[in-house]
Amino acid sequence: MANVAVIGAQWGDEGKGKVVDWLASRAEIVVRFQGGHNAGHTLVVGEQTYKLSLLPSGVVRGKLGIIGNGVVLDPQALLDEIARVTAQGLAVTPENLRIAENVPLILPLHPALDKAREAARGEDRIGTTGRGIGPAYEDKVARRSIRLCDLAEPATLSAKLDELLLHHNSLLRGLGAPEFAKQELLDQLLALAPRLLPFAEAAWERLDAARHSGARVLFEGAQAVMLDVDHGTYPYVTSSNTVAGNAAAGAGIGPDAIGMVLGIAKAYSTRVGAGPFPTELHDEIGRGLGDRGNEYGTVTGRRRRCGWFDACLVRQAVKVGGIQGIALTKLDVLDGLEELKICTGYRIGAETLRRLPAAMGAQAAAQPIYETLEGWSGSTRGARSYAELPAAAVKYVRRIEELVEAPVVLLSTSPERDDTITLRDPFAG
């Protein structure tokens, strides 16, 4: 099967944008299957820099983009993003963007609840993006979401809003936040309907047709395995399944169609938001990684926490995420460091573990066990073959492969699209 799914193998921001862009240029269809406008990446195409949050990357490359049912869609955020890229000269029409008709919508009450809850948590906050992602997924599993298809049925929409507001206004009142008026929401949604419905369709049918015609499909994940609602550092996670298994359910296609699963991992670790981060560095080395790696959130603008590469954690992501090959990014950020550390396991009290346990207390207590490797004085920046890399850099990559139990199939050595060492074509299966 010549399809590819791309997922993050750490806590997000692994540099998926560049890899996804390269793969999108070789696919015919690009599908987003989870998350929402909490995601963000920057694509540089010629003179233009596109900041995408919801639009599948393929749209920039002239490919068909599909927003799958596994996404939570903020209609206003989508229309704003379309307006932004349109102003940059890109056409986004129902010709090149389709949206699953059963996608749940994010309404203004979702970010309101997200923010009110975070404020109420105080010191214990998750550090969400405040975009309403969690509350929107809660409504989906609670069976009270307004879905895109509901915009075509005003009577259904009206009845569903009653149920939704009964729930949300009670919560908002309890949190001391302003409540929402039904008529205003109904009017807003009905006004948006003619702009959104032309994009709606049974996306699964299009994917089924693609499967039969042999068209190459790229499944574009957002966030990463350690932010997965089941397998991540719960509760400091996002509210969807970010593992490749969800590409099938979140797009509406069988699991055998997913094809090769590529996991993106940074050559060190970063995290935005709160939660356990065993290899976090609070020293000059950590600050140096942040500065050289330009580690600021695309969506939040917040400075990312930085630390050593955690092979124990990436190995876990490989296993639960179904990752068959790794794209290792930002190797050049490590240039010039005298020595490098890789985490191979954790010490928790008297125990030594080769996995991050599930319990919150144990995760917080996990002390990394490090292996120290020699750094390199030469530059890896812009290298396009292994032969151009310093020997110690090759050793570092090889050791990562051994420890995470997956081959490095792509190696990115600068933000430039062509500065990539390709060891295996993911579309070749």
The catalytic residue positions are: 13, 41
Can residue 269 be called a binding residue for ligand IMP (CB under 6 A)? no
Regarding 3 and contact with ligand IMP (CB under 6 A), the answer is no
Q: Does 238 bind ligand IMP (CB under 6 A)?
A: yes
Report the nearest approach of ligand IMP to the CB of residue 369 (Å). Answer: 25
CA pair distance 259, 201, nearest whole angstrom: 24
Q: Quick count: other Cβ atoms within 10 Å of Cβ 143? A: 7
Give the 3-state secondary structure of residue 322: coil
Pick the piece of the chain touching ligand IMP (CB under 6 A) from 209-217, 232-240, 281-289, 346-354: 232-240
CB of 131 to ligand IMP, least distance (A): 5
Quick one: angle between helices 154-174 and 182-196, nearest 10? 130
Q: Give the Cα-Cα-Cα angle 347, 348, 351 (nearest 5 degrees).
A: 75
**Strand pairing class (408-412; 325-329):** parallel
The phi, psi pair for 239, rounded to 5°, reads -100, 20
The CB-of-241 to ligand IMP minimum distance in angstroms stands at 12
Residue 35 CB, nearest approach to ligand IMP (Å) = 7
Closest CA relative to residue 105, chosen from 165, 19, 180, 36: 36
DSSP summary character for residue 306 = E
Collect all residues with Cβ–Cβ distance below 8 Å to 147 and sequence separation of at least 6: 101, 102, 103, 104, 105
Q: Is 12 in the site for ligand IMP (CB under 6 A)?
A: yes
What is the C-alpha separation between 88 and 315, in angstroms, rounded? Answer: 40
Instruction: Say whether residue 131 binds ligand IMP (CB under 6 A).
Output: yes
Does position 70 interact with ligand IMP (CB under 6 A)? The reply is no
415 binds ligand IMP per the rule CB under 6 A: no
Confirm or reject binding of residue 207 to ligand IMP (CB under 6 A). Answer: no
Question: Is 246 one of the binding residues for ligand IMP (CB under 6 A)?
Answer: no
Q: How far apart are CB 219 and ligand IMP at their closest, in Å? A: 16
Exactly one of 64, 78, 82, 133 binds ligand IMP (CB under 6 A); that residue is: 133
In degrees, rounded to 5, the angle at the alpha carbon of residue 415 between the alpha carbons of residues 420 and 376 is 70
Which stretch in 33-41, 98-106, 117-125, 394-402 sits in contact with ligand IMP by CB under 6 A? 33-41
Q: Quick check: 222 binds ligand IMP (CB under 6 A)?
A: yes
The verdict on 272 binding ligand IMP (CB under 6 A) reads yes
Token pair listed for 132: 């309403």
Does the protein bind ligand IMP through residue 127 (CB under 6 A)? yes
* Contact criterion met (CB below 8 Å) for 110 and 135: yes
Q: What is the Cα–Cα distance from 242 to 226, expressed in whole angstroms?
A: 8
Provide the minimum distance between the beta carbon of 130 and ligand IMP in the complex, in angstroms, as a whole number: 7
Distance between CA 199 and CA 197 in Å, rounded?
5
Among 17, 70, 111, 134, binds ligand IMP (CB under 6 A): 134
Q: Which is nearer to ligand IMP, 134 or 286 (CB)?
A: 134
Question: Which residues bind to ligand IMP, rule: CB under 6 A?
Answer: 12-13, 38-40, 126-129, 131, 133-134, 222-223, 227, 236, 238-239, 272-273
